[in-house]
Amino acid sequence: MTNGVCALGIDVGSTTVKIVGVDAEGNLAWHHLEQAEPRVEDQVERFLAITPPLTSPPQEGGKEGGLPLVATGYGRKLVRQAERSITEITCHARGVYRELGHGGTLVDIGGQDSKVIGISSKGDVVDFSMNDKCAAGTGRFLENTARRLGVPLERMGQVALAAAEEVSISSTCTVFAESEVISLIAHGVAVESILRGLHRSLIKRIVAMIRTVGLVPPLMLSGGVVQNQAIARMLEEETGEKVVIPQYPQLMGAYGAALIALAAKD
């Protein structure tokens, strides 16, 4: 798995930090992921210390003799070891295009932001919309409300999909949705019906963003929230489009950054 890592990409997100190593052909060869810590600089230092040793001779371009490194994500500017910092929009598009081999509309749902990115058939970003001002439409929305319902993050999607009924959640704001959830519980509404309604609310928010960019199939998904199975299923229901997901959706930003670092070497 660690054979021939020759460039690195690091994605310092608001919720998780991811690092990816690619081989000379640009294949994803190594990765590591942790929850984001307040002291980003120390965490990045630790990530770089565990990168696999070079299996081929070092090439020109690596800062301080190390592997070429590109940073992306919310905290990318804090990675002083990186040669360049590039936006998540560019990096997610790059990673997903390389892995799936086609353009379309990419939806990235992270811990505290969400994005819709239009990618051309050549892999260029043609348009995008980003929400990083409001927790609605992000992982945080589900995390906060699921905590209220006592359902573990990893099971939320499964529980929501198993619901026989769905409650309509009128508040899009996370804070108000939490109060609404408390009130629904007090009225004896089933946890799974509330959860399904919360997922619907998130998906509707995402669909509104998709509409501002315009949906050009195929619809693709990246980001940590995609590990929740209800997301793809309900997005398919709402849009009528089949959703395509890369093998490691949460790593696509870091993968794209590593591909950019690799291309800059040549």
Residues that bind ligand ADP (CB under 6 A): 13-16, 110-113, 139, 142-143, 153-154, 223-225, 227-228, 250
| Interatomic CA distance for residues 186 and 235, integer angstroms | 29
- Which residue number, 6 or 36, has a Cβ lying nearer to ligand ADP? 36
- Which residue number, 172 or 248, has a Cβ lying nearer to ligand ADP? 248
- Which residue number, 62 or 145, has a Cβ lying nearer to ligand ADP? 145
Query: If we measure between CA atoms, which residue out of 39, 41, 25 comes closest to residue 258?
Result: 25
**Exposure of 206 in the CB half-sphere (CA atoms within 13 A):** 35
- Which residue number, 169 or 202, has a Cβ lying nearer to ligand ADP? 202
As measured in angstroms, the least distance from the Cβ of 62 to ligand ADP is 25
Close Cβ partners of 204 (under 8 Å, ≥ 6 residues apart): 238
As measured in angstroms, the least distance from the Cβ of 53 to ligand ADP is 27
| Interatomic CA distance for residues 256 and 258, integer angstroms | 5
As measured in angstroms, the least distance from the Cβ of 59 to ligand ADP is 29
| Interatomic CA distance for residues 29 and 228, integer angstroms | 25
- Which residue number, 67 or 225, has a Cβ lying nearer to ligand ADP? 225
As measured in angstroms, the least distance from the Cβ of 182 to ligand ADP is 20
* Tokens 């990186």, located at residue: 82
| Interatomic CA distance for residues 256 and 52, integer angstroms | 19
Strand-pair category, 69-72 with 125-131: unpaired
As measured in angstroms, the least distance from the Cβ of 74 to ligand ADP is 7
